[in-house]
Amino acid sequence: MQQAQHINPFLQSATTVLEQMCSVTPSRGELTIKHIEFSGTYVWLKISIFGQLEGDIVFGFPEQVALRIVSGMMGGFSITEFDEMSQSAIAELGNMISGNASSLLYDEGIQIDITPPMLIRDNEAQGALATKQALSIPLTLEGIGQFEIFVVMLK
């Protein structure tokens, strides 16, 4: 399905960005191929990629994990509501990870572009993120929780 050379830039980028933004080094769980299972308690972020590779990068954050990540991005300021500012911050996190990964891919001779992040909540998720299978990359941030990055490559 996906080749490691296409996945590693996203892992490397996620590690770098999360270390910079939240001062926590993520640990990676086991990579698996699975269907994305939508839950209303999650915040979903979709970024499409096109060019020499095409597909979607989908971030699935349990809402409490998303709030803790935003809190870390805000220097530890307690964030308790997933409001417009929190939505903007989590979308920017996904944008930074995907943008950095596209630069890493470019360095390997693979040119891609990314779309702006699409934040998807609750009942919107099923239609907007319908997919056959995706590579799931679980990441755990100590003291914050776990979320997943799903990579859906079409080409």
Three-state SS letters, 45-104 = EEEEEEECCCEEEEEEEEHHHHHHHHHHHCCCCCCCCCCHHHHHHHHHHHHHHHHHHHHH
Question: What pLDDT score was predicted for residue 27?
Answer: 94
CATH 3.40.1550.10 applies to domain 4-28+43-153: yes
Question: What pLDDT score was predicted for residue 134?
Answer: 86
pLDDT per position as a tens digit, 88-119: 999 999 999 999 999 999 999 999 999 999 99
Residue 11 has pLDDT above 70, yes or no: yes
Q: Which residue has the tokens 């990629």?
A: 49
pLDDT per position as a tens digit, 36-83: 877 778 899 999 999 999 989 999 999 999 999 999 998 888 889 989
Q: Where are the domains of the chain?
A: 4-28+43-153
